[in-house]
Amino acid sequence: MNSPYFPFNREPFSRNLPATEIFISRGHQELLARLRHAIETGSLAVVTGHVGSGKSTTLRATMHNLDASRYRFIYLAHSELTPGEFYKNLLYQINVQPRRGMSENKRLVSQSMLEWSQKGVKDIVVIDEAQELSVQMLGELRFVLNYQADSFSPLTVLLIGQPQLTETLRLQILECIRQRITVQYKLPSLGEEEIGPYILHHLRVAGLDRQIFTEEAIEFIYQFSKGVPRRINNICRYAIIAAIEADSPTIDADIVRKSMEDEPI
């Protein structure tokens, strides 16, 4: 993806940016602060957002900024996680061989996390795609967060999912879980005024220190993407390819529109 006009030194608008190179919008800045609070206080945090809004990206940035000697991250992403599988997966990730019975595995999880807590290491359990969790699994979190007493939890649980997760948590049967939520945040899309800086940031990360999208193109991108970062990335990649094919030094709204007609964005 290079031309005399666009001398990139790496692929622009990549999804795999290092945590140090992530664009931090106002919404992402707020989420970072709330995640830090949840981790410091040892609580249940619920983070929702539409597909491609940057939830996982912000989580990576949070993990990057924490002292690895004081925190242990356990990442789970299973669409049909049952309580039994939950404890088994936790044990596998902390290098403890699970047993056959769930009650024994619960005891092993509790024992391990309490031991690490006494050493000054906090466990952070991240459950991604949490909108897929069953009511039974969500209810099980009450026991995960309450090993000894209501005033103590040796770990933080972060539920990351799409907006329907919030609807599920409103069920009366999950009242006990709602009472334990201390941080809840829906990550917003980028605002219109953030689109230009977001695009320029990604161009600079790829080695091009100037804006190549016209104001009209940026406005068009905002209208079509609704401010969702993943959609912005896709639109911009296709637009750059179209501009290279057209031998154009800039990318206007017509080039963006034409590239969207040719690609499934």
pLDDT in tens, the chain (265 residues): 667 889 999 999 988 888 889 999 999 999 999 999 988 887 899 999 999 999 988 988 898 888 888 998 899 987 678 999 999 999 999 899 999 899 999 999 988 888 888 888 888 999 999 999 999 999 999 888 875 444 456 678 999 999 999 999 999 999 989 998 999 999 999 999 999 999 999 999 999 999 999 999 999 999 999 999 999 999 999 999 999 999 999 999 999 999 988 665 5
Q: Indicate whether this model's pTM tops 0.75.
A: yes
Structure tokens that stand for 248 in this block? 């154009």
CB 166 within 8 A of CB 49: no
Among 168, 186, 204, which residue terminates a domain?
A: 186
> How many C-alpha atoms does 7 have within 13 Å on its Cβ side?
2
Q: What angle do CA 129, 132, 136 make, to 5 degrees?
A: 125
Question: Are 256 and 208 in the same domain?
Answer: yes
If asked whether residues 140 and 197 sit together in one domain, one would say no
| pLDDT for the residue 149 | 45
- Given 158, 186, 214, the domain boundary residue is 186
Statement to judge: residues 39 and 115 lie in one domain: yes
Here the tokens at position 101 are 């019975």
Q: Residues of 67-105 as b/e, b for ≥16 C-beta within 10 angstroms? A: eeeebbbbebeeeebebbbbbbbbbeeeeeebeeebeeb
Q: What is the largest CA-CA distance in the chain?
A: 67
Strand-strand pairing, 71-76 and 44-48: unpaired
Same structural domain, 154 and 196:
no
Q: CATH no. for residue 222?
A: 1.10.8.60
pLDDT at 60: 87
- Could you tell me which residues come within 8 angstroms of residue 194 by beta carbon, excluding any fewer than 6 positions away? 25, 26, 227
Instruction: Confirm if 131 and 161 have CB atoms less than 8 A apart.
Output: yes
Last residue of a domain, one of 134, 158, 186: 186
End-to-end CA distance of the chain: 18
**pLDDT at residue 1 in the model:** 61
pLDDT attached to residue 150: 46
Segments forming the whole domain that contains residue 252? 191-262
Number of domains in the chain: 2
DSSP bridge partners of 185: 47
Q: Note the pLDDT of residue 79.
A: 66
**Residues 117 and 220 occupy one common structural domain:** no
Please tell me whether residues 81 and 35 are part of one structural domain: yes
> Backbone phi, then psi, for 44, in 5-degree steps?
-105, 125
Q: Please tell me whether residues 79 and 182 are part of one structural domain.
A: yes
Tokens of 119: 């050493």
Residues 177, 205: one domain?
Answer: no
